[in-house]
Structure 1
Amino acid sequence: MFLKKWAFVGIPAVAVALGASGAVRAAELVVNGSFESTTHGGGQMGFNTNATGWTTTGYNFIFPEGTADTTGVTGQYGNLQLWGPNNGSANGLPTASPDGGNFVAADGAFEGHVAPIEQTINGLTVGASYDVSFYWAGAQQQGFDGATTEQWQVSFGSETQSTSVWHNPDHGFSGWMHETFTFTAQNTSELLSFLAVGTPDGVPPFVLLDGVSVVASVPEPTALSLMALGLVGLGAVKLRRRG
């Protein structure tokens, strides 16, 4: 009698490869994506504080945790706060973003003062895809009334993608949202920029930002699994043992 036995050559190697792919994460390419490293705490970027790795000439601010609707921060035109539960609006503004700690607030409609927050990303592979992820929200400057809109335009080199437009009610807050855009590198270094877009001017619309991440895109787990099955099928060898 002949008994059939299947030996799957290459299964250990596939298992090791899958284990490694699950354990190894793509390297983070952005510097200070959480805006925790600053020169002088909270304040107006480029005026009385700066965030390590980032540059801007716009009317953009860094709020330490818990300050947005309490003490606020100081800019070139004095103290600035956002509407929130601690200064007159039950809009649900939390003390911190989902990423925790500091976050950026940018005025997207201040005439003559709208400019992006930028950082050069190095170590890219030309033709490779990269995921730019971040938390964002729409808010309004405290002391002003009226509905506003908020949006981010995100550029990576010559490519630009935009978030949805948030239509913010009077004294409102959108809640924090998470976004991921995928870009293709055209050069080994690309300029990453976040440009706040808001309306109307004079009713300061602020768009918030935190937890910025830039990593190389990786295949979905399903694709890895299918690849592993294909390798197993090719490596299978039918053996016979005489009983």
Structure 2
Amino acid sequence: MKIVGLAVRRALLVGVVAIGATHAEGQTANLVKNGNFEDLTNGFGQVVINGNGSQLTTGTNVTSATSWYAPRINGNGYPGLFFTDNGVSRGYNYAYDTTNRYLFGTTSWDGTSSQGGSYLVMAAADYVTSVGTLSQKIDGLTVGQSYDLSFSWAAAESKSLYGSNEAAYRASISAMIDGQTYATPTANVAAAGFGGWTTAVYSFTYRGGSDVLSFQAAGSPAYAQPMVLLDGVSLALTPSVPEPATWAMMLIGFSMVAGVARYRRRCGMKITYTS
């Protein structure tokens, strides 16, 4: 029985390895670093603006997300970008502003992300702050390869950005990479309402253009102070359809596992595996 036990164990091991190999083939790594915005340099607050000038580069409530950067915009306006985990941010407008800023919500939303943890809030219209951009350089892109870009987003309205101008509003978000723009459908939300988290997925074939992934929000009317929330950013190889050889390996693996099970039932005995 020792020899039989070894043979059965080896057959089972080969079958499991074959199945595991085909499963691993379909797994792809996320090329976006810190896509959930959990790694922040200075906690929650206004996003650091990269570039020269007076735009938010230092301050008590100024922070940034590792691997991401916010390009400087034209003029001296402050891009409305901040990180939070509950719909409240300190120092929303200026580097030394200690006033809490809020987002309107509904009884169905507690200010948290569908992904959990921190998320980015982006001004969707120029009002007190300006529409800003958050970007990241993506390493490892291959020309001619297909990729899937996905992210979670939601529409919201600012509650305390120099007054509470409640109004029905519209908001959307666009992702830009490789010279292409992928815009979400526009969310139409009632005054002081929350648009709800949703996941957007876009597939593209990399053509060798810009390898910088950027996000920018859009919305109206400006006086309603529409915002877009962003979280869970991912960019990975499009899973490939298994080749015939891969399907054959899977069938062999399942057949081996099933064969071992049938053998044990037919023998009607317990097999002790010993080395």
Q: TM-score scaled to structure 1, two decimals?
A: 0.77
Query: Which residue matches 1:32?
Result: 34
Instruction: Return closer, same or farther for 1:227/1:145 CA change in 2, 3 Å cut-off.
Output: farther
- Is contact 2:81–2:121 with CA below 8 Å preserved after alignment? yes
Larger relative contact order (CA 8 Å, sep ≥ 6): 1
Instruction: Return closer, same or farther for 1:120/1:229 CA change in 2, 3 Å cut-off.
Output: closer
Instruction: Return closer, same or farther for 1:100/1:197 CA change in 2, 3 Å cut-off.
Output: same
Between the aligned partners of 1:73 and 1:21, the Cα distance in structure 2 is 48
Instruction: Return closer, same or farther for 1:16/1:187 CA change in 2, 3 Å cut-off.
Output: farther
Between the aligned partners of 2:45 and 2:230, the Cα distance in structure 1 is 15
Q: Does residue 75 of structure 1 match 2:96?
A: no
Q: Does residue 216 of structure 1 match 2:230?
A: no
- Is contact 1:121–1:189 with CA below 8 Å preserved after alignment? no
Query: Which residue matches 1:98?
Result: 114
Match 1:169 to one of 190, 196, 204: 190
Match 1:140 to one of 146, 157, 163: 157
Identity rate of aligned residues, in percent?
A: 33
Instruction: Return closer, same or farther for 1:110/1:22 CA change in 2, 3 Å cut-off.
Output: same
Between the aligned partners of 1:130 and 1:232, the Cα distance in structure 2 is 25
SS in structure 1 at match of 2:202: strand
Q: Deviations over 1:1-26 (max 9, x none)?
A: xxxxxxxxxxx999856532313521
Query: Which residue matches 2:124?
Result: 108
- Is contact 2:157–2:227 with CA below 8 Å preserved after alignment? yes
Task: Give the superposition deviation at 1:96.
Answer: 1.9
Compare CA radii of gyration and give the structure with the larger one: 2
- Is contact 2:38–2:118 with CA below 8 Å preserved after alignment? yes
- Is contact 2:19–2:250 with CA below 8 Å preserved after alignment? no
Structure with a larger share of its residues in strand? 1
Structure with a larger share of its residues in helix? 2
The residue identity in structure 1 corresponding to 2:242 is L
The residue identity in structure 2 corresponding to 1:93 is W
- Is contact 2:18–2:250 with CA below 8 Å preserved after alignment? no
The residue identity in structure 2 corresponding to 1:205 is P
SS in structure 2 at match of 1:207: strand
- Is contact 2:83–2:89 with CA below 8 Å preserved after alignment? no
Instruction: Return closer, same or farther for 1:117/1:76 CA change in 2, 3 Å cut-off.
Output: same
Instruction: Return closer, same or farther for 1:177/1:14 CA change in 2, 3 Å cut-off.
Output: same
Query: Which residue matches 1:43?
Result: 45
The residue identity in structure 2 corresponding to 1:151 is S
Between the aligned partners of 1:189 and 1:127, the Cα distance in structure 2 is 14
Pairing of 1:94-243 with structure 2 (within 5 A)? 94-111=110-127, 113-142=130-159, 143-187=164-208, 190-219=211-240, 223-224=241-242, 228=246
Query: Which residue matches 1:9?
Result: none
CA RMSD in angstroms comes to 2.7
Q: Deviations over 1:206-238 (max 9, x none)?
A: 01100111111112xxx42866457899xxxxx
Q: Which ranges in structure 2 are unaligned for 5 or more consecutive residues? A: 1-12, 49-55, 57-61, 73-78, 252-275
Query: Which residue matches 2:270?
Result: none
- Is contact 1:122–1:189 with CA below 8 Å preserved after alignment? no
Query: Which residue matches 2:81?
Result: 60
SS in structure 2 at match of 1:224: coil
Between the aligned partners of 2:47 and 2:16, the Cα distance in structure 1 is 49
- Is contact 1:128–1:185 with CA below 8 Å preserved after alignment? yes
Q: Which ranges in structure 1 are unaligned for 5 or more consecutive residues? A: 1-11, 234-243
- Is contact 2:149–2:234 with CA below 8 Å preserved after alignment? yes
